[in-house]
Amino acid sequence: DVKVTQSSRYLVKRTGEKVFLECVQDMDHENMFWYRQDPGLGLRLIYFSYDVKMKEKGDIPEGYSVSREKKERFSLILESASTNQTSMYLCASTTRTVPNSPLHFGNGTRLTVT
């Protein structure tokens, strides 16, 4: 069974702090994604990656960056956290080799920026 692990379930950070959200998958998936989920807005794509050292902007990349140095790990970085980045962050992975392969999600990180 695919396992996507996010390093923290809950995080509280202060405005202006640099925040790292880590995600690891164990199924050798090529594609990895970071979403944020807010009430009434659904899941919105921040960044995604097709392979090591590759990254593509999603729909709301402003204020975020990502790093994919190893295939199994995809990190989301908030360079200077702001209160409007308080949200649930979900990491997901999938493979390109199977056409109907769904996204497999981690359990999420609920980030509060005060």
Query: What is the contact surface with another protein in residues (CB under 8 A)?
Result: 31, 33, 35, 40-45, 48, 50, 56, 58-59, 90, 94, 96, 99-100, 102-108
User: How far is Cα 108 from Cα 88, in angstroms, rounded to an integer?
Assistant: 6
To another protein, the closest distance from the beta carbon of 31 in angstroms equals: 6
- Taking the least distance from each CB to another protein, the nearer of 48 and 74 is 48
Residue 79 bridge partners (DSSP): none
Q: 56 with 48: CB under 8 angstroms?
A: yes
To another protein, the closest distance from the beta carbon of 2 in angstroms equals: 10
The residue type at 89: Y
